[in-house]
Structure 1
Amino acid sequence: MVSPEDGSMRASDTDREHVARRLRIALDEGRLTVTEYDERLQQAFAAATLSELRQLTRDLPESRAEVELAEREEHRTKVVKEWRDWAGGAVIMIAIWGVTSVVSGDPKFFWPAIPLVIWAAVLVASSIEGPGKKKRD
């Protein structure tokens, strides 16, 4: 079995795109010339293994822009997941309300609005916080 640390593991398109993004950031920061960037970018998209990709960025420090980009992506993924969970909960609660209203023969008070509005308010507040903001201990 090949471990992830083994450089002979095949590179994915996502791995190649990550390296291309790192190279672009290095170019923007002035760490690479346009010629170096172009050469490394071509090599990145031709790379077959992770070790070939690592060679292209081994002399580049992890930039703050890259860390911030990763934090934003992680935050966005978290927010999307939380809203997807909210929507799933909404479907279930509204279905329960609908079934009980139909079975009883008359529409009941729309109780799902109470937990859904509270839950949505919490999600909006946590979404506004944004990535990279650490809570105090």
Structure 2
Amino acid sequence: MAREVVPRPGVETMRAADADRHKIADQLKAALEEGRLSLGEYDDRLREVYAARTYADLLGLVADLPKAGLSAADVNARRLAEARRQARRMPLALQVLWTIWASVVAVNVAVWFLVEVTVAGHVYPWPIWLLAPGAALFATTIGVQSIRRQQRR
């Protein structure tokens, strides 16, 4: 009788290979050497590593361990740096608005330059009027970022 083929939702359900088990065992050994695991914990987890069938089984055994060579201070510093990076990140709506504004400015300046070069005499620099919506967008961005900063405190 043929087995029914079931679509797999993710990598976690895929079967692990011996090479994958060896990599996880090496991570556990490094954690033991760094003092993150006791000998008993190492032994228990190692047994589970070689009994694991899927990636989810394997990844669960090292989920609470940092990468080898990282101290708690390193992990904390990386976490804080990532939080600061996320805090500085502009909301998607503002990124879209800035992109649209920059595109409109670029097209207007290019057209103005072509007209200035091809027409005899001086042509009024109409792209300067695009500074007003740019200033409004800048003020909005500053306001949104300061509100977000206050909400995080």
TM range (shorter): 0.3 to 0.5
Greater RCO structure (CA 8 Å; 6+ sep): 1
Q: What TM-score, normalized by structure 1, do the two folds share?
A: 0.42
